[in-house]
Structure 1
Amino acid sequence: MGFEALGELLDEALTLPLGGKPYRVPAPSAEVGLLTQALVHAAAVAADGGRADEQVLADAAERNHYQDVLGPAYDEMLADGVSWPELKHAALTCMVWIAQDRTAAERFWNSGGDPNRLAPNRAARRRSGGASSTKNPASGSGTSTPPAPAHAKAKGKRRK
């Protein structure tokens, strides 16, 4: 049987709709992919209070990473006069795609980049079965009787 040509198996590209126009973003080079992975990891470390890899950040600062991840769509977007927020969102979506996968990139794109819209809300968790009203077996009935006040205990012990 043998291996088929990988290029025929993988049609890795994103099509991002901006202003009614679809922009096709091809898969990045291995170099851009590796740098993107390192940048995303450095950002996650910094977000968790750690120290980001300064060499990775310096390498990214020397390049226009948005242009790298958007490929030919970058020049097309500039020529069409897309806004800065649109260009930034498109580039960050591509970074999510490169670092994770297409599904994560779609979620990011459709959330508008808002982290609050990325996390499922309570209603969605209920629909998905994430929330449960079943009581923990160790919890008993879920109610308890408050202890009697100290002065009531003392009255019960007195003899008349």
Structure 2
Amino acid sequence: MALRDLSEVLDPELLLPIKGKIYRVPPVDAETGLRLQRLAEHAAKLAHAVEAGDEPDTEALGDDNELDLYRDALGSAYGEMLADRVPFAWLKIAGITAWLHAAVGAERAEAYWNAAGNPEAFAGNREQRRAARSTRQPALQSGTNPKPAPPAGTTGQPSSRTGR
């Protein structure tokens, strides 16, 4: 078996277009990625608690930690956006998009970005995904999950950027 170098088949860089400029968000390092993933898991628990009508634990991400999240997720693009005096609302959307990209995946990040951070539009995307999941075939008897079907309107071929 010959495995290719992962850097040849996967490009985890995120490109964020703002007012005609492309901000290049480098991939986060492993330690930061694990921390961002833990925050995503906490956010999912928070969302489930809210949906269930339970009292959520909201202390995990204060104002200072929120700014650290944007800085960590955006990497060098954070300083570039500050230097360009990007409006805070845009920086926040860019930071959350980069966080989602690192912690959850490109599809969720793209949905958030394209919803411009609008919770109703993003929630609508979540409902569409849930409906799509409920119509998929159950997992195979062997305990392995079948390869998910490609999104509607795609060929199922890997992206040239991500290799997925």
TM over 0.5: yes
Q: Work out which of the two has the higher radius of gyration on C-alpha atoms and give 1 or 2.
A: 1
Residue-by-residue CA offset, 1:31-87 (whole Å, 9 max, x unaligned)? 111111111111222331366496x658x8398121110011011111111010010
Which segments of structure 1 move beyond 2 Å, counting only runs of 4 or more?
49-54, 60-63
Contact 1:33 1:99 survives alignment (8 Å) = yes
Structure 2 CA distance for partners of 1:53 and 1:87, relative to 1, 3 Å? closer
Contact 2:100 2:108 survives alignment (8 Å) = yes
Instruction: Extract unaligned runs of 5+ from structure 2.
Output: 133-164
Give the secondary-structure state (helix, strand or coil) at the position aligned to 1:38.
helix
Amino acid at match of 2:27: A
TM-score by length of 2: 0.64
Matched residue, 1:87: 91
Residue-by-residue CA offset, 1:90-128 (whole Å, 9 max, x unaligned)? 0001111122211111111000111221215xxx9xxx9
What's the C-alpha RMSD, in Å, of the aligned pairs? Answer: 3.2
Matched residue, 1:102: 106
CA distance in 2: counterparts of 1:69 and 1:80, whole angstroms: 18
**Residue 26 (structure 2) pairs with residue 26 (structure 1):** yes
Kindly, what percent of the aligned residue pairs are identical? 41
Give the secondary-structure state (helix, strand or coil) at the position aligned to 1:24.
strand
**Residue 15 (structure 2) pairs with residue 15 (structure 1):** yes
CA distance in 1: counterparts of 2:117 and 2:73, whole angstroms: 17
Contact 1:97 1:104 survives alignment (8 Å) = yes
Equivalent residues, number: 124
CA distance in 2: counterparts of 1:80 and 1:53, whole angstroms: 32
TM-score by length of 1: 0.66
Structure 2 CA distance for partners of 1:62 and 1:23, relative to 1, 3 Å? closer
Matched residue, 1:38: 38
